[in-house]
Amino acid sequence: MVVRFSKSLILGGTGIRCLVVTGFLIGGFFAPLTAQDSADQQDTTDEAAVEQSQTQETELAPNEADASKGQVPLLAPERRTLYFIGPRFPVERQQGPSIGKPKVILPQPLVARGSLSVPVPTQGEVVIPHDDGEAPALDEQAENAAPSEDADGTPPLTEPDQLGRIVDNTSVQNGQSVDPLVAIDDSSLVLEGDLLQIDPSGLPVSGLDSSIDTVWQGYSRDEIVVFLGKLGRVSRSPTMNRLGDSIASSSFTLPQPEDEADIVAFIRARLDVFQSHANRQAYLGLIEGLPADRDWSALAHHVARAHLLKGELTDACLIAENERASDDDIYWVRLAAFCMAATGNRTGVDFQLGILEETITLEPAFYQLLDQILVEAEQPTGAVLPPMVTIAEALPADILTATMARLARVVVPDVQETIANPLAVPLLLENPMLSRPAQSKLVNYLVSLGVADGAAVAEFARALQTEEEERTEVLAEDTDGSAANDATPDSSDIEANENADGGLDFDDAVRRAILMAIIAQPAPSYAEAHDALQKLWTIAGDTGQRASVSSALVAMTMPGFEKNSEMPAATLQAILARAAQLSGDTKAAANWSRALRNSVAGQDEDTDRALINLWPLIAIRDGEATTDTGRNLSLWWRAQSEVDSRFRKANLVFSVFDALDMPVPDDLWGELEAGPAVFEGRSVAPSVWRAFLKSLDNADPVYALSSLFGLLSQSTPADLPPSVVSTLIAGLKQLGFEDHARMLALEILISQKI
């Protein structure tokens, strides 16, 4: 920027003087900047000044001419002062890293373009055929599909769609063009009706290792409920009890329920099966699998018991509080009294007791438990616990009382003979304050029904403390087999104390418990253990409970007997092999059978006889008939020559073989014809037997199994005659339960001392 001044301007007015002063101030301010210019910048400025000077001389030429005529020029050429601000530096754009090619974020097709072909036109579409009657090619179809003019010369109605494409707003239906803008009746496109109600009553029990997954079709809901009621009657056969649990935990294809009551009734029937079999895992699994978005207040009793079984007292008390507002059942009053005692609310407990005393007669044990729970709840934190209290009366065996006894920390010397709920028995056995006689009676109760958990019984036996004098006395006693009273519950409402069970007296129960403790010791005296095993097996055979006690025997002898360097006698090896077969432990059964087979044969008569007597059971377990089956069966028959009951045993074994399609030589059947025609034993009611045979002819599994469970709930496998056994095994196999048929056959044979 160049600023020029002249005298004439300086001699001018006040405004011009201010401009001059301002210019000098600006020049003084930028002077340092001019002095700092480089030499190159100075040269460039001089050249520009010369060019500007020449230009100004040219412009002043007229003034000089006027001066020559005697006129004074307005602006005389003076020395010019140039001021420079400095050079202008080029502006440079900031450089950053390359971001690459922009990416397309528009939706892309799911398949590659051009990978799909145009489908063949369906009925109703307009296709212009060729002269030869064939459809035109795709290109020709595209040409033919071009919009054409109507009769009046107007093109068809078209408009762009959402993607900008021009589409034809007319469609073709049954060969006629239809305008979609014209309102149509869409009533035929709307389906009206009630939504189907989701039925959770037939859902399988999750997390349960069931060996059967049957879909029961063609039966009404009421028929299956009655069938489940038959399964709930304990059969005293572990195989049939396991089959009942598997059926109740399987999936069901059911007719549509009429109302919510149908769903509740079916679920309750399944829960009753698990409850009667003391199957806590299946019982809790079914309740936990129910959908949470439904009102299950109709199953409040079962849900509350499930919370008590899991130790969730707060949840059970919440259910009791809700149900007390609408249900006057005494059970909720008892549970509410327990909940208030657990929180130390004496006033609330007194109020609930007042209601109960006006309605029912309370047992003394209930008062004692509530009082002790209140004492425990009122203890301050860190205080010394009060001394232990012993319940004077026998404790009822139900879930609520078992939970109260556990929380009250009381010694329980006795339990009532009537078992209110089999699910309460394992809960009571978990109480360390339960006396040894009471524990023994409860364990023998489960064993007698065939629902005992072998691992739990073995754990109880290992923890049982015994004295040397007791062990010596029990081992010296004779086994007369009069130790049990096997009455079984037959009521569906188990919690209501309506099913009386005689149970065992303390002496017999304690004797069996001591025998179990001798067998289950981690470091036993093997001479005592072998004697106890022989004695316990004999007692179980006399009472028809060999199948029930087998799983406990296997759990008690594993792994101590296998690691024993002193191998048991041949008779004991045969006992352990039979027990393993009945418990379903095929590996242990094979190991004991192999150990017996590896014994020195031909020199020990007992070993030979034990191995021969075991062979029919091994053949049934393996389920394979070989060319040696007839010869081995004949050898077994010859080994029974000195047995008084050989004809009954042979008829039983041959009948089972025949039912399982394992051939029996005709000459062996001919030898049995010389024996007795009638055997001692119970007879089956003709009506039940006829119903079973008729259901087999009709291929009706529900009624066939109902008859079978009804029969075995009133008799033990040890009481069935050979003619009935053959039909039972064949019928169970015909229904598709071959594995269960073989297990039931083993139960019957071993229970009848084969």
Greatest mean pLDDT range, 147-151, 153-157, 515-519: 515-519
Least confident range from 110-119, 170-179, 211-220: namely 170-179
Q: DSSP assignment, residue 494? A: G
Angle at 327 between CA 325 and CA 328, to 5 degrees: 105
Is the pLDDT score of 442 beyond 70?
Answer: yes
Contact between 617 and 749 under an 8 Å Cβ cutoff? The reply is yes
Contact between 742 and 620 under an 8 Å Cβ cutoff? The reply is yes
pLDDT of residue 677: 80
pLDDT of residue 310: 93
Tokens of 233: 């009657």
Is the pLDDT score of 140 beyond 70?
Answer: no
pLDDT of residue 125: 47
Question: 546 vs 126, 362, 540, 752, CA distance in Å?
Answer: 82, 40, 5, 9
Q: Give the residue ranges of DSSP H helices in 61-115.
A: 61-68
Spatial separation of the C-alpha atoms in residues 111 and 103, rounded to whole Å: 19
Q: How confident is the model at residue 543 (pLDDT cuts 50, 70, 90)?
A: confident
Please report the beta strands in 586-643, taking only residues with DSSP state E, as ranges in sequence order.
none
Q: How confident is the model at residue 15 (pLDDT cuts 50, 70, 90)?
A: very low
Is the pLDDT score of 324 beyond 80?
Answer: yes
Is the pLDDT score of 595 beyond 90?
Answer: no
Q: Give the residue-averaged pLDDT of 609-634.
A: 81
Is the pLDDT score of 229 beyond 70?
Answer: yes
Tokens of 425: 């028995």
389, β-bridge pairs:
410
Is the pLDDT score of 430 beyond 80?
Answer: yes
Q: How confident is the model at residue 586 (pLDDT cuts 50, 70, 90)?
A: confident
pLDDT of residue 63: 46
Least confident range from 516-520, 547-551, 569-573: namely 569-573
Is the pLDDT score of 567 beyond 80?
Answer: no
Q: Give the residue-averaged pLDDT of 159-178.
A: 48
Greater pLDDT, 359 or 566: 359
pLDDT of residue 602: 58
Q: In angstroms, how far is the first alpha carbon of the chain from the final one?
A: 128
Q: How confident is the model at residue 315 (pLDDT cuts 50, 70, 90)?
A: very high
Residue 738, burial from CB neighbour count under 10 angstroms (0-12, 13-18, 19+): middle
Those residues with Cβ within 8 angstroms of residue 739's Cβ, 6 or more apart along the chain or in another chain: 211
pLDDT of residue 309: 94
pLDDT tens digits for 379-425?
777 666 677 888 888 899 999 999 999 999 899 998 988 888 899 99
pLDDT of residue 366: 92
CB atoms within 10 A of CB 494: 20
Backbone angles phi, psi at 415, to 5 degrees: -125, 155
SS3 at position 738 = helix
Tell if the pTM clears 0.75, that is, is over it: no
pLDDT tens digits for 471-528?
888 888 776 533 333 333 333 333 333 333 334 445 788 888 888 988 887 765 677 8
Contact between 206 and 285 under an 8 Å Cβ cutoff? The reply is yes
Least confident range from 20-34, 282-296, 372-386, 431-445: namely 20-34
Average pLDDT of the chain is 74
Is the pLDDT score of 12 beyond 70?
Answer: no
pLDDT of residue 284: 94
Tokens of 339: 């909940």
Q: How confident is the model at residue 288 (pLDDT cuts 50, 70, 90)?
A: very high
pLDDT of residue 398: 92
pLDDT of residue 120: 61
Contact between 588 and 558 under an 8 Å Cβ cutoff? The reply is yes
Q: How confident is the model at residue 645 (pLDDT cuts 50, 70, 90)?
A: confident
Q: What's the sign of the alpha-carbon dihedral 596, 600, 601, 606?
A: negative
pLDDT of residue 38: 45
126, β-bridge pairs:
none
Is the pLDDT score of 455 beyond 80?
Answer: yes
| Closest to 544 in 3D by CA, of 234, 752, 233 | 752
Diameter of the chain measured on Cα atoms? 179
Is the pLDDT score of 152 beyond 60?
Answer: no
Name the amino acid, one letter, at 645. S
Is the pLDDT score of 294 beyond 80?
Answer: yes
